[in-house]
Structure 1
Amino acid sequence: MLLVLGIAGGWVLARSSTLSGRVLDADSSLVTAVRLESALTDQETGIRGYGLTGQPDFLDPYRSGVTDERAYTTRLRTTMSDRPDVLRDLDALQRQAQAWQQRIALPVAATPPGAPVALATQRADEGKRDFDRIRAATTRLQQTLQTTRDHSRAQLRTAYTERNAIFSAIAAVILVLTAGVVTGLRRGVSRPLEQVSSDVRLVADGMFDHPVTPTGPADMRQLAGDVESMRRRLVHELAFSDAARLQLDEQATELRRSNAELEQFAYVASHDLQEPLRKVASFCQLLQRRYADQLDDRAGQYIGFAVDGANRMQTLINDLLAFSRVGRLHTELASVDLEKLYARTADVLSVAVEESGAELTHDPLPTITGDATQLGMLLQNLLSNALKFRSPDRPPRIHLSARADDDGLWHFAVADNGIGISPEFAEQVFVIFQRLHTREAYPGNGIGLALCKKIVEFHGGTIAVDPAHSPGTRIAFTLPGPAPAAVAAAAQENQR
């Protein structure tokens, strides 16, 4: 509809422009016709004055009139080329003018000046009749031009009326279409969108069982269908999550029950199991002292085996208890000064250090957050292992290094010059009860490095054997702590 009205509006504008041009052409042609009449009148006046007086000055209006006549005639033919009636009247006027020129004007103008022209007097009546015909032809031409102008003006007024009517119709149609579009958008888009938005808000507020109803045009229904599919998927995922959470709760309950049983087992292991072992060891030793004179050497050896087994069993139980308590007991994290903790550990191992002639060194150690008891066990196990597995060919040299990266992670390493660990056993040594040597060669239960790994991982770090270190062993581990910038700031604050 807008296209049709637009074409009609363009047509009426073009028609109005054309008719306006015609009116302007008619007005200018009417003026030109008047000027053409004036040029012909100048010719007649000049010829009549020259014929009566013979003075050459009277021929100037004649000559200028002839020039103007040609110009005005050419202009009229160009402007009114599409009006046959005007051209017909113009042709009739030119025939009358040429007849007058041939009979009167040219012969009189060709007569020598100086005296009145007799031919002018002789043909005065004839010239008057001919020029009256010219005037009549000029009048008909002007009337035709006037009629043409009036007709063009009437057409232009009609075109203006049509233009106003079409433009008013365009405006009315635009208003009606705008109202229809707004109403259609309201009914077909806004209301369905509000409905979908309301359903989505209800789902977002927690009413996951509320369906999103598809409504409105196809695109809106497709959108609502996609949202409904997403809601169903969310409901399914939430149901699965709830089921998983219930299962996790059940497992957590079972885990708490299991931990309680483990706690009870630990209590039994630390009391009820160790008490019979102490009795076995005590009575075996009492039997050896009381009946020493009645027993031979083999009996004494057997009693020694029994006492040693009972003692090793007690040690194994204590080590297992310590391993099981990591992460369950002594889990109060606090600020731990590793310098002080290292000094206490070295003091505990002072006898072994002195007997082996070992040299213990370390880098400046930071203060980190952790469990002091467990970190003490970590350092003690690593340093005692370095002392235990020393090389018989050289005195032990043990160094604890420490450095931090930009993320605040501290890298520690205990390096020694002992017997070392083969690369193929680099991971096996951290498995509980895994021993690389016989009990006779090196005492122990094979729990130390497994305990170290559990302590380091409980603090959020990692531990591994450095296979590139030689000679000896280098065990590297990481612990989270403050960044180097924070450590430097704390050091400056302590200096102040």
Structure 2
Amino acid sequence: MPIRSSAQHRPRPRLLVVDDEAPQQRALCEILVDQGYEVEGCTDPLVALSKLDQSTFELLLTDLQMPGMDGIELTRRAQAVAPDMVIVLMTAHGSIGSVVDAMKNGAIDYVQKPFRISGIVPAVERALEVQRLRVNNRRLEAEVSQQLKELVAVNQELDAFAARLAHDLRGPLVNMRSILELTLQDSGDQLDAQQAEMVRLGVQSGDLALRMVRDLLDFARLGNQPLTMAPLQLDDVLKAALTTVQPSSANRVIEWSIDPLPAINGHAGLLQQAFVNLLGNAIKYTSARDVAHISVTAQVLPGGGHQIVFADDGAGFDPRQSDQLFKPFRRLHTADEFVGEGMGLANVRRIVERHGGTVMARGRLGEGASFTIVLPAT
């Protein structure tokens, strides 16, 4: 009873058989046709290459030892013509070295001559399964690549829209705030206490809206502006960031613990912005402490990268909501508890990712928080 291939239940795979011994080539073709395959055969490797140029085959079954062009050279040239095709060798004389050379050039299996049907058919089926996986993987890679291109395009459009929106909103907001402030200055004595307070709240709301617009514009710009990386000392970046946040820590008792930081390739301005946001958060969320503790520690990772941790003993956050921290305009504390717009950490993540790094957060309510930046090796 002939062995029935599972290939019968699929579209018939096309096989190309190459063997310089014509009787053996014809016999093998007949066997494979009986197994349900569509088969073409030839005795000349150059004719085989011509067939590969003109038609599509899923599998090439070739003899290893042939005059003029051996199976190794045919394998190499066939893979260049048809990269999705799989190749199985037939050899009666081939040494292990010859088979290994053929495998290096793209063959995936071999069968020994003289072969039996029970040996050749399983080898063909295994090879065709590899071919199907190869084609599916290539298709999936193409789909993922296309989806990634579309996602990048969408993100660029969103960033451009956010930038346009922020730019267009700035003017009306500045005008509105200026009008309210002038009203308060020129007509303050004509307004009762409640009216004056309403106008003051309007000015404060204008300030808040302008800060949100500024943060949104910064966030959008981070998405598409080119980064010019240069060697820099993170100690200098941190020093500049500490100077920036110093006014917000005035009249506070804060115990600082700061490690020496590494030298990396990066964008000094953007990294300073990230450090300012992290230090500003630490100062803000420790405001209830009589004596606050804030630390900046650094560690060299085994792969040569750098880990920098900003930690505090402040209000902390619910660890179940840590994934919300880095999303634009998401806040885990109310405005009554802590002032803010919820854009600082979103900008930190984008800045770090633009440097090829990652950022993660850990914390517990009432027990402080830590933010870990991992930057790749220089």
Instruction: Give the TM-score range, shorter chain.
Output: 0.5 to 0.7
Match of 1:472 in 2: 368
Change over 3 Å in CA distance of 1:316–1:218 after alignment to 2: same
SS of the counterpart of 2:290? coil
| Counterparts of 2:141 and 2:130, CA distance in 1 | 16
Q: Secondary structure at the match of 2:291?
A: coil
Are the aligned partners of 2:316 and 2:368 in contact in 1 as well (CA < 8 Å)? yes
Cα distance, 1:337 vs structure 2: 0.8
Structure with the largest fraction of strand: 2
Cα displacement (A) at 1:235: 8.0
Give the secondary structure class of the aligned counterpart of 1:291. helix
Structure 1 stretches lacking a partner, 5+ long: 1-184, 483-496
Matched, 1:388 2:263: no
**Structure with a larger share of its residues in helix:** 1
Deviation at residue 345 of structure 1 after TM alignment = 0.7
Equivalent residue number for residue 46 of structure 2: none
Other structure's SS at 1:308 match: helix
Q: Which residue of 2 aligns with 1:315?
A: 211
Q: What is the CA–CA distance in structure 2 between the aligned matches of 1:382 and 1:200, rounded to whole Å?
A: 58
Shift of 1:220: 8.3
Q: Which residue of 2 aligns with 1:161?
A: none
Which residue does 2:79 correspond to in 1?
Answer: 204
Question: Which residue pairs with 2:197 in the alignment?
Answer: 301
Give the distance between the partners of 1:246 and 1:393, measured in 2 at CA. 53
Which runs of structure 2 are paired with 1:67-86 in the superposition (5 Å)? none
1:330, 1:205 → 2: CA distance? 37
Deviation at 1:404, TM superposition (A): 1.4
> How many corresponding residue pairs?
297
1:276 aligns with: 172
Q: Distance in 1 between matches of 2:352 and 2:86?
A: 51
Q: Does the residue aligned with 1:219 lie in a helix, a strand or coil?
A: coil
**Identity percentage over the alignment?**
26
**What's the offset of the Cα at 1:384?**
0.8
Opposite residue 416 of structure 1, the aligned amino acid is D
Match of 2:259 among 342, 351, 363: 363
Distance, in Å, in 1 between the alignment partners of 2:167 and 2:224 is: 19
| Structure 1 position 340 matched with structure 2 position 340 | no
Question: Which residue of the partner structure matches residue 108 of structure 1?
Answer: none
Q: Give 1:336's aligned amino acid.
A: L
1:204-223 correspondence to structure 2 within 5 Å: 204-207=79-82, 219=115, 223=120
Is the Cα–Cα contact under 8 Å of residues 277 and 348 in structure 2 kept in the other structure? yes
Q: 1:261 to 1:422 in 2, by over 3 A?
A: closer
Q: What are the Cα deviations for residues 257-288 of structure 1, in whole angstroms up to 9, with x where unaligned?
A: 53553354244223211111111111222233
Equivalent pair of 1:427/1:464 in contact (CA under 8 Å):
no
- Post-superposition Cα deviations, 1:158-190, rounded to whole Å, max 9, x if no partner, equal xxxxxxxxxxxxxxxxxxxxxxxxxxx966679
Q: Structure 2 counterpart of 1:400, which letter?
A: V
CA–CA separation in structure 1 for the residues paired with 2:319 and 2:143: 45
Between the aligned partners of 1:437 and 1:207, the Cα distance in structure 2 is 59
TM-score (norm 1): 0.50
**232 and 204 in structure 1: CA distance in 2 versus 1, 3 angstrom threshold:** farther
Paired position in structure 1 for 2:52: none
Compared CA separation, residues 209 and 438, structure 1 to 2 (3 A): closer
Are the aligned partners of 1:208 and 1:231 in contact in 2 as well (CA < 8 Å)? no
Equivalents in 2 of 1:236, 1:417: separation in Å? 53
- Note if contact 1:330-1:374 (Cα within 8 Å) is conserved in structure 2: no
Against the structure 1 CA distance between its residues 233 and 425, is the aligned structure 2 distance closer, same or farther, given a 3 Å change threshold?
closer
2:305 maps to a residue whose letter is: L
1:476/1:345 CA distance change after superposition, 3 Å: same
Distance in 1 between residues matched to 2:116 and 2:148, nearest whole Å: 45
Report what 1:377 is aligned to.
273
2:222 to 326, 331, 343: 326
- Identify if the C-alpha distance between structure 1 residues 440 and 470 changes in structure 2 by more than 3 Å, giving closer, same or farther: closer
Cα distance in 2, alignment partners of residues 423 and 260 from structure 1: 31
- 1:307 partner letter: V
1:449 correspondence with 2:324: no
**Please, what is the CA RMSD of the aligned residues?**
4.1
- Measured at CA, do residues 391 and 250 of structure 1 come closer, stay the same or move farther in structure 2, by a change above 3 Å? closer
Give 1:387 deviation, angstroms.
0.9
Residue aligned with 2:339, SS: coil
TM-score of the pair, normalised by structure 2: 0.64
Which letter maps to 1:241? R
1:199–1:213 contact (8 Å) kept in structure 2: no
One-letter amino acid of the structure 2 residue matched with residue 311 of structure 1? D
Is the 1:274–1:314 Cα contact (8 Å) retained in structure 2? Answer: yes
